[in-house]
């Protein structure tokens, strides 16, 4: 059987902080979820597989239909994110309009969060909730053999008796998952924030996060691959020509020992690779920074979020400004680049001064890059539930949108208790100006570039900031 996996293009993404027409200038990640599924099928089944990344290749629905008709798949799988639902729906409708007949299944975070609503999307034959490397293979085998689909873990179906959902009970040892085929899917066309080379890829070394920040809906069950398995993938990446890796785990430094062990194994194998990761501002020590620097770590993306201890407590970050300052100072001492993430307009930001204090804190910790976003109460978070209870969100706007994704108006994604969307957008632009448009900062950044590729990305990033600066807030869907 022929199996086609599609990552939809994004035309109508709901995005808070960075307008949708600017985000692609900053990063373009490979669709690792689809690539893991493809790798699993390639290793454990006889099916022929292909991934079409319509986002990376900027494919229109018409071109996508032509490619589908050329490949003639028996099964098509499409990944769906809630924020991309409108674009995903356009892709689904286009895919099913081709003359060729096939089984269409969808999966991804949206399906996991909204299983009943997902299967009601027009033209969808089935949906799969949860991690579904094995279940998608089981689905493919069952479709080929004309078997009943109801026993497949995580399957969601429309039946005569209503919606049928089979719980995803599979528990796969992450070390048994084959590595994504980055040659087959041309890793060179992807890039990450603050990357130093054009030969970069992303890696997932764990799933979930044990923390429970109020604004986050990340899966809480934490699972990690073994150190040897993680470094095996790093070694494979080195062998195919990758020069830099960005770990996109929700939290890479859940424990210090794990990070140190990975670094030691990289050194033991004498792998020459640059790498970086997303981290909390705790579980960082001088000893850890020293060893990861030796092992090639060049950047750490820290979730700072806000510039007050009160705010950190309200967000349930379980960390203090003093700890954050110490972490950035230590990281700087070891010559590792820092990227700090901040949210403006959080529930605790009651005055303009509160928001400006966050910008001042970004300057105080001397981070190399600051990513400012407007706070968004996303579904299935403590913040979202609080917003509904307090009447800040009058009704479940996300659910309304999910039930009617064809609506012209996308749900608002701002916390408008103390500020309007217009005011927050002006403050966002002000934050970018205060941080990035400093002559000293611009000169320092240019002097610290490591390659022509990095210089090019910095220049494109600067253009993106100018786009944000001159955007008209009244234009549709810029937030």
Q: Is residue 405 part of a domain?
A: no
Domain count within the chain: 2
Residue 461 C-alpha from the chain's centroid: 19
Q: Is residue 88 part of a domain?
A: yes
Q: Is residue 444 part of a domain?
A: yes
Q: Are residues 152 and 73 part of one domain?
A: yes
Q: Is residue 186 part of a domain?
A: no
Residues 296, 333: contact at Cβ < 8 Å? no
Q: Are residues 215 and 109 part of one domain?
A: no
Pairing label, strands 2-7, 75-79: parallel
pLDDT at site 15: 55
Q: Residue 177 carries which DSSP code?
A: S
What confidence tens digit (pLDDT) does each residue in 48-57 have?
999 999 999 9
pLDDT at site 374: 92
Q: Are residues 233 and 114 part of one domain?
A: no
Q: Are residues 82 and 209 part of one domain?
A: no
CATH of the domain at 252: 3.80.30.20
CATH of the domain at 39: 3.40.50.2300
* All residues at 6 or more sequence positions from 268 whose CB lies less than 8 Å from its CB, including other chains: none
Q: Is residue 396 part of a domain?
A: no
pLDDT at site 408: 64
Angle between helix 61-71 and 85-95 (nearest 10): 50
Q: Are residues 196 and 148 part of one domain?
A: no
Q: Is residue 389 part of a domain?
A: no
Q: Is residue 55 part of a domain?
A: yes
CA nearest neighbour of 121 among 86, 173, 83, 71:
86
Mean of per-residue pLDDT scores for the chain: 89
Q: Is residue 302 part of a domain?
A: yes
For 382, counting Cβ atoms within 10 Å of its Cβ (0-12 exposed, 13-18 middle, 19+ buried), the class is middle
Q: Are residues 18 and 88 part of one domain?
A: yes
Low-confidence ranges of the chain (pLDDT < 70): 12-25, 407-412, 455, 457, 459-460, 463-479
* All residues at 6 or more sequence positions from 67 whose CB lies less than 8 Å from its CB, including other chains: 52, 59
Q: Among the three residues 115, 150, 165, which one is the final residue of a domain in this structure?
A: 165
pLDDT at site 409: 61
* Cα(251)–Cα(248) distance, integer angstroms: 8
> What range does the domain containing 144 cover?
2-165
pLDDT at site 12: 66
Q: Are residues 69 and 137 part of one domain?
A: yes
Q: Are residues 243 and 160 part of one domain?
A: no
Q: Are residues 120 and 213 part of one domain?
A: no
pTM for this one? 0.90
pLDDT at site 270: 98
């Amino acid at each position: 059987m022929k199996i086609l996996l599609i990552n939809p293009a994004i035309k109508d993404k709901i995005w808070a902080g960075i307008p949708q027409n600017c985000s692609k200038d900053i990063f373009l990640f490979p669709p690792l979820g689809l690539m893991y599924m493809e790798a699993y099928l390639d290793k454990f089944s006889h099916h022929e597989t292909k991934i079409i990344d319509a986002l990376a290749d900027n494919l229109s629905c018409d071109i996508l239909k032509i490619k589908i008709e050329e490949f003639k798949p028996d099964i098509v799988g499409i990944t769906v994110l809630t924020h991309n639902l409108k674009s995903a729906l356009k892709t689904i409708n286009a895919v099913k309009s081709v003359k060729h007949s096939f089984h269409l299944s969808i999966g991804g975070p949206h399906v996991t969060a909204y299983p009943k609503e997902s299967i009601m999307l027009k033209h969808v034959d089935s949906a799969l909730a949860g991690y579904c490397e094995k279940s998608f293979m089981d689905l493919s085998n069952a479709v080929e053999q004309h078997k009943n689909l109801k026993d497949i873990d995580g399957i969601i179906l429309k039946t005569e008796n209503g919606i049928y959902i089979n719980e995803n009970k599979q528990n796969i040892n992450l070390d048994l998952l084959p590595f994504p085929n980055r040659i087959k899917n041309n890793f060179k066309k992807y890039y990450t924030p603050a990357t130093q080379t054009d030969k970069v890829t992303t890696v997932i070394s764990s799933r979930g996060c044990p923390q429970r920040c109020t604004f986050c809906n990340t899966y809480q069950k934490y699972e990690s691959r073994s150190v040897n398995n993680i470094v095996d993938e790093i070694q494979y990446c080195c062998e195919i020509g990758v020069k830099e890796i960005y770990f996109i785990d929700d939290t890479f430094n859940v424990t210090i020992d794990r990070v140190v062990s990975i670094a030691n194994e990289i050194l033991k194998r004498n792998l020459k690779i640059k790498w970086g990761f997303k981290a909390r501002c705790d579980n960082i020590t001088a000893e850890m920074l020293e060893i990861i620097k030796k092992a090639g770590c060049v950047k750490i993306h820290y979730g700072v979020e806000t510039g007050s201890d009160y705010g950190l407590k309200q967000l349930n970050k379980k960390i203090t400004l003093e700890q954050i300052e110490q972490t950035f100072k230590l990281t700087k001492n070891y010559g590792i680049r820092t990227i700090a993430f901040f949210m403006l307009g959080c529930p605790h930001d009651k005055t303009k001064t509160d928001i400006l204090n966050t910008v001042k804190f970004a300057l105080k910790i001397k981070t190399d890059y600051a990513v400012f976003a407007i706070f968004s109460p996303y579904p299935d978070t403590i913040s979202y539930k609080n917003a509904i209870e307090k009447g800040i969100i009058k009704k479940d706007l996300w659910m309304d949108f999910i039930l009617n994704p064809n609506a012209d108006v996308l749900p608002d994604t701002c916390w408008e208790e103390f500020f309007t969307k217009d005011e927050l957008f002006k403050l966002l632009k002000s934050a970018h100006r205060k941080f990035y448009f400093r002559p000293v900062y611009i000169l320092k950044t240019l002097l610290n570039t490591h390659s022509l590729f990095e210089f090019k990305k910095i220049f494109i990033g600067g253009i993106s900031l100018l786009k944000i600066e001159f955007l008209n807030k009244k234009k549709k869907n810029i937030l």
